[in-house]
Amino acid sequence: MSKLGKQEYKHALKHMSRELVDLARWVADTGARIVVLFEGRDSAGKGGVIAAIRKHLNPRHVRTVALGKPTEREAGQWYFQRYVEHLPTSGEIVLFDRSWYNRAGVERVMGFASEDEVDAFLQATPTFEKLLTDDGIILVKYWLTTDQTKQEERFAERRDDPLKGWKLSPIDVASRARYDGYTQAREAMLRATHTQNAPWTLVDFNDQKQGRLTLIRNLIDRIPESKVPRPVIELPPLDGKPSKESYAVIDPLPDWIPPEAK
């Protein structure tokens, strides 16, 4: 497939964004609960696709969850416990930027969890997820794929770009030698947790723009009959001329001026 053009990408994303707005309105109107998990290779593009999904949505109805390292207290809890408190309430969509599947991925490959802990997780997860879906939660699970050559390009870009340097962690650097190990861990995870009620969907993110559109299109199509009528809001004319801002106590900051113009 030929590389997606910039304008073609923007046009397609704009159209899908309108459909996402309709979807979010349907969720709020019906009280549905949606959980979307984003897993995949480091640098695959999880943050980018989440940002694209959220860009035009009401933040009251859509949340992103990106948990850090467990606290000492959390480490002593039931493994799923800290994720449960972030599940959606009625009328809400929650996007997990990595999820409970950390145990089957980075924790396993990097040796942060024992094989016994990983085996217990893989056995428990289908039951845990069935509890969620039996309770009415719509659970969608994505795994973003990326070849190692492309991953290396993105790591180098993050290293060299001061605005992206925060995305490159010591774990990312250490993971470079474990690309095949992540593949093996992913396949074991899929065999254990790709179930009828909570299936996995893999999306090719070697081309991130193409990957975003593919994933978003799939997400929209997974939620059938998700349209509700858009509210009609009238804006009657003002009684008089529009007012200008006035200040009695504190003035606004002066406008920013480019350094070269000073």
Reading the block at residue 184, the tokens are 């093996």
Rounded Cα distance between 202 and 42, Å, is 15
Mean pLDDT of 6-32: 95
pLDDT above 90 for 192: yes
pLDDT, residue 231, reads 83
Check: CB of residue 113 under 8 Å from CB of residue 137. Answer: no
pLDDT above 90 for 225: no
Residues with Cβ within 8 Å of 83's Cβ and at least 6 positions away in sequence, in order, are: 65, 67, 96, 99, 100
Helix then strand count (H, E) for the chain reads 10, 5
- Which band of pLDDT confidence, cut at 50, 70 and 90, is reported for residue 2? low
Question: Worst-scoring range by mean pLDDT, 3-17, 56-70, 151-165, 240-254?
Answer: 151-165
Check: CB of residue 79 under 8 Å from CB of residue 102. Answer: no
pLDDT, residue 1, reads 56
Q: Which helix (H) or strand (E) holds 186?
A: helix 179-193
83-139 pLDDT, tens digit per residue, is 999 999 999 999 999 999 999 999 999 999 999 999 999 999 999 999 999 999 999
Task: Calculate ∠ Cα 140-102-61, nearest 5°.
Answer: 40
pLDDT above 60 for 24: yes
In sign, the C-alpha dihedral spanning 109, 112, 117, 121 is negative
Mean pLDDT of the chain: 94
pLDDT above 90 for 169: no
pLDDT, residue 114, reads 96
- How far is the first Cα of the chain from the last one, in angstroms, to the nearest whole number? 50
Q: Which helix (H) or strand (E) holds 162?
A: none
Rounded Cα distance between 103 and 105, Å, is 6
Rounded Cα distance between 137 and 34, Å, is 6
Whole-number Cα distances in Å, 25 to 69, 93, 144, 165, 191:
33, 11, 27, 36, 35
